[in-house]
Structure 1
């Protein structure tokens, strides 16, 4: 039955119908009707505010990345939504379902360039350039169908960010609105029997296969674990696929251990991954391989059919990761797995021995790993400890390692981790950050304090953009520019924001402080003082083959 609603009420009704329990937002003039509707839906949807629009987008990304469910945020149009485009680009790169709800100038002024408040030339076109799908809701009565379509687009096929905009007057106006709709997600394409047969034939012939996972495999942990055991394959990931298989178990290995085994393998099975490691990093940083030659043969499983043209392989399966893994297991019934346990153990031990030299980062990461339970969350950042975590932090459960992926969005980590903690209030969440990236969102310490978000942030303070400084030293004759930083007293900041603060100078000192902060369950900031220039470079283990 139709009901008289404002545009804002119609959108919120659609959120409720699609199971949304949290919205991250920063209200403003064009969004008042939506936020008023959120206030009245407060028993169903929690609204978490922020001090900057970028934090709204990153928190929604963290919520979605760590749960697999859509993360939703709302900000004003124009400069407000533009402030969130880095988070949208990150969600796009990481194939993560984020829903952006924004406004528009009054409908009569759209496209006229009269200079109305928050007007930009083509907001919808701008959004479409950074998201999977975007649309304008022209009338409140159109909201039920378009909100459902937004959630369908965000979650069907290859997941990704979407956006909806609504003009100021339409959001405040009212009319008879049809009932809200839950999104009807597209059915996954069934694995084609011919594709399964071709891949199974390559697997049966392989002596030493390796499985590599990406973001598209996070929901298929059980099936991929069974496949790994059935064929005697180690499982590795670079960033997005971490934890699909326990990296401290019999089959999970670090990305660097995978590199050490790559020359011995005769088959790579990529599941939900772009295969960045073997086709770009191991082939040379500046050279892309899009027509790989065997050996090794390459099998790809991906729900996005375009991936089979972006990287041409020897057998491609267009299907959901879990469906395809189950189909392969059925096709491989009776297959005897290769005896590769000793080879895997050797590579793991060699990689651990070599990467132990990346100090002090490796010792700090050992402390973090020991302090977190297997299902605790680590959110990395573009800092020396974050880069080292790519290979130096064993991830034990799906979705518990949250990365920016190939976007490399400096400053994402702390703000994203707030969203992870909101989504998982009963599980420990640790954000590791550098002083440079942390300052991109330092104001969100106020958000953590206001909403009691018990995130533990470990801030490595080396008074520099460490990577930039090293590159300028080593590649540009030590001509430094914009690399060294003058920071505030971070403990004074913690006190000013009324959160717990501790300063440490060594891994041994971090251990009890971190354990206590996790146990306390309150927002806390732990500053780790690292002398400028003292951190060993992690890059020989991220680009182990060197530039091509």
Structure 2
């Protein structure tokens, strides 16, 4: 063997390759199919930290939180079959959010795959299952393939809009030795070059517009400075829904929340979407002002097909905005109109109580660069327009998957990636019990997330819809809950009640100062939350209110 060759098992090659790729943490649960990989990870303890969770879904969400908050790939490992399926919600969330998450798993013995023998953890076609919720999934058939397969996985996670990948190895292959040349064969991933014709068309459209409006999504998260420079030159407001929150600081005069954006939208003559699916105008507001044109900047060429614009620039958001900056002229000063819309929006927002009062308390306690992890709940929904965000990546969301059980588990991964920064998760009582067992993970590994559980004894949206749309026929919406404070203390967390915004702010400040795992329970009367949906899903201008919220 040459100097860069070695005899390794596939498990050893996978562990070494992950370390060579820069992986610092792997989340997961060990199991029989994965023992060769698990043991190799144990021997890589000097380079890779292993955080074991109490549920496969928790491992996947923690990897997602790690990646979403840091921009670095999040890696988790689970057993095949039920382990993969349990983690499937996290992988589908990473797919929705364009977030680099790698699942490393096993499979049954190679000679039994596809035979339907009922081997332990067998799925009819696990690779196809993984392929349906990732950007790429591959099977390692021999240890010598490992470096190339890892390179492909990391390349796919980084290419274009990004997203999850998966690697599986059959049980026998995972433990079999082979000659391995290196552990990780990196693929070069470059953004597509900007097209001069597309830039010229974009500049022409901008020059023709009097009231352009910029919509940003997660694809613009690394381009905040360029987006803001372009917005200032055009005098254009910048609006984000959830995934784009933090692209520019929301206390900048040109930043508008979705409520203010809705009012400004009626006079818009150019929609400029930057790294955004344009969910607000086309899915939530569901209308276009007469004559408005659509210009999109996106690194994913398929976005030009999914929602066909009048102009499209393929490329990196930052590079495209910087290129346009020298091609467009100064726009009119719209500062007064934007400021008026911001003030009018705040009046409307302040009427959504008690959620807004609690969100203001959280914002007051959380440092400017602290992380806020939402989950679908009355407070989580309201946060999308009522919680200001000042730094990139600090507002962590499940994108369009809207998963119950997402918030707390994801927040643990956020904290692992950012141990010196504050992390707060908000969740409802229903969602929290999807993943409450991960309090054990937080306590055992010292992960100092503070979770605020709003206990209103209900699946709040379901309860409201059943009462207002289905004549009060309630089915499965009312919840009987444990004592969350006592429950958290039994796991070893600091826990307390705080039922007013003032009490919550004080408790949260103290918990963040301690920087240890903690739970704060806010007890509320069932059905007492004001509805955020008139602001999240307003009717097209001039029409009556919508029914429901989809």
TM-score category, normalised to shorter length: over 0.9
SS of the equivalent of 2:51 reads: strand
SS of the equivalent of 1:100 reads: strand
Displacement of 1:12: 1.0
Displacement of 1:181: 2.5
After superposition, give the CA deviation of every residue in 1:170-197 in whole Å (9 maximum; x if it has no partner): 1111111111235223211112111111
SS of the equivalent of 1:118 reads: coil
After superposition, give the CA deviation of every residue in 1:441-497 in whole Å (9 maximum; x if it has no partner): 010000000000000000000000000000000000000010000001111111110
Task: Output the CA distance in 1 between the equivalents of 2:185 and 2:279.
Answer: 36
Q: Is the 8 A contact 1:381 1:434 kept in 2?
A: yes
Task: Output the CA distance in 2 between the equivalents of 1:390 and 1:509.
Answer: 23
Partner in structure 1 of residue 542 of structure 2: none
Partner in structure 2 of residue 219 of structure 1: 222
1:128-139 matched pairs, under 5 angstroms: 128-139=131-142
Q: Is the 8 A contact 1:190 1:323 kept in 2?
A: no
Displacement of 1:296: 1.9
Displacement of 1:406: 0.9
Task: Output the CA distance in 1 between the equivalents of 2:431 and 2:310.
Answer: 41
Partner in structure 2 of residue 358 of structure 1: 352
Relative to the length of structure 2, the TM-score reads 0.97
SS of the equivalent of 1:171 reads: helix
RMSD: 1.1
Task: Output the CA distance in 2 between the equivalents of 1:147 and 1:336.
Answer: 47
Task: Output the CA distance in 2 between the equivalents of 1:229 and 1:34.
Answer: 52
Partner in structure 2 of residue 337 of structure 1: 331
Given the alignment of the two structures, is residue 266 of structure 1 paired with residue 269 of structure 2, yes or no?
Answer: yes
Task: Output the CA distance in 1 between the equivalents of 2:238 and 2:266.
Answer: 15
Displacement of 1:201: 1.1
Task: Output the CA distance in 2 between the equivalents of 1:294 and 1:312.
Answer: 17
Task: Output the CA distance in 1 between the equivalents of 2:270 and 2:330.
Answer: 16
After superposition, give the CA deviation of every residue in 1:329-364 in whole Å (9 maximum; x if it has no partner): 1212xx122211111100000000111000000010
After superposition, give the CA deviation of every residue in 1:179-231 in whole Å (9 maximum; x if it has no partner): 12352232111121111111111112221111111111111111111111111
SS of the equivalent of 1:331 reads: coil
Partner in structure 1 of residue 441 of structure 2: 447
Return the match for 1:47 from 35, 39, 50.
50
Given the alignment of the two structures, is residue 472 of structure 1 paired with residue 475 of structure 2, yes or no?
Answer: no
Return the match for 1:3 from 3, 6, 26.
6
Displacement of 1:293: 7.7
Partner in structure 2 of residue 404 of structure 1: 398
Task: Output the CA distance in 1 between the equivalents of 2:46 and 2:254.
Answer: 45
**Unpaired runs of 5+ in structure 2?**
540-544
Given the alignment of the two structures, is residue 230 of structure 1 paired with residue 233 of structure 2, yes or no?
Answer: yes
Q: Is the 8 A contact 1:459 1:528 kept in 2?
A: yes
Task: Output the CA distance in 2 between the equivalents of 1:293 and 1:487.
Answer: 47
Displacement of 1:13: 1.4
Given the alignment of the two structures, is residue 80 of structure 1 paired with residue 83 of structure 2, yes or no?
Answer: yes
1:63-462 matched pairs, under 5 angstroms: 63-283=66-286, 295-332=291-328, 335-462=329-456
After superposition, give the CA deviation of every residue in 1:76-114 in whole Å (9 maximum; x if it has no partner): 000001001111111101111110100000111111111
After superposition, give the CA deviation of every residue in 1:291-314 in whole Å (9 maximum; x if it has no partner): x68532111011111110111111
Task: Output the CA distance in 2 between the equivalents of 1:185 and 1:89.
Answer: 25
Partner in structure 1 of residue 546 of structure 2: 547
Q: Is the 8 A contact 2:33 2:107 kept in 1?
A: yes
Return the match for 1:508 from 485, 489, 502.
502
After TM superposition, which residue ranges in structure 1, 4 or more long, deviate above 6 angstroms? none
SS of the equivalent of 2:326 reads: helix
Task: Output the CA distance in 1 between the equivalents of 2:307 and 2:505.
Answer: 44
Relative to the length of structure 1, the TM-score reads 0.97
Task: Output the CA distance in 1 between the equivalents of 2:16 and 2:30.
Answer: 18
Which piece of structure 1 moves more, 312-321 or 382-391? 312-321
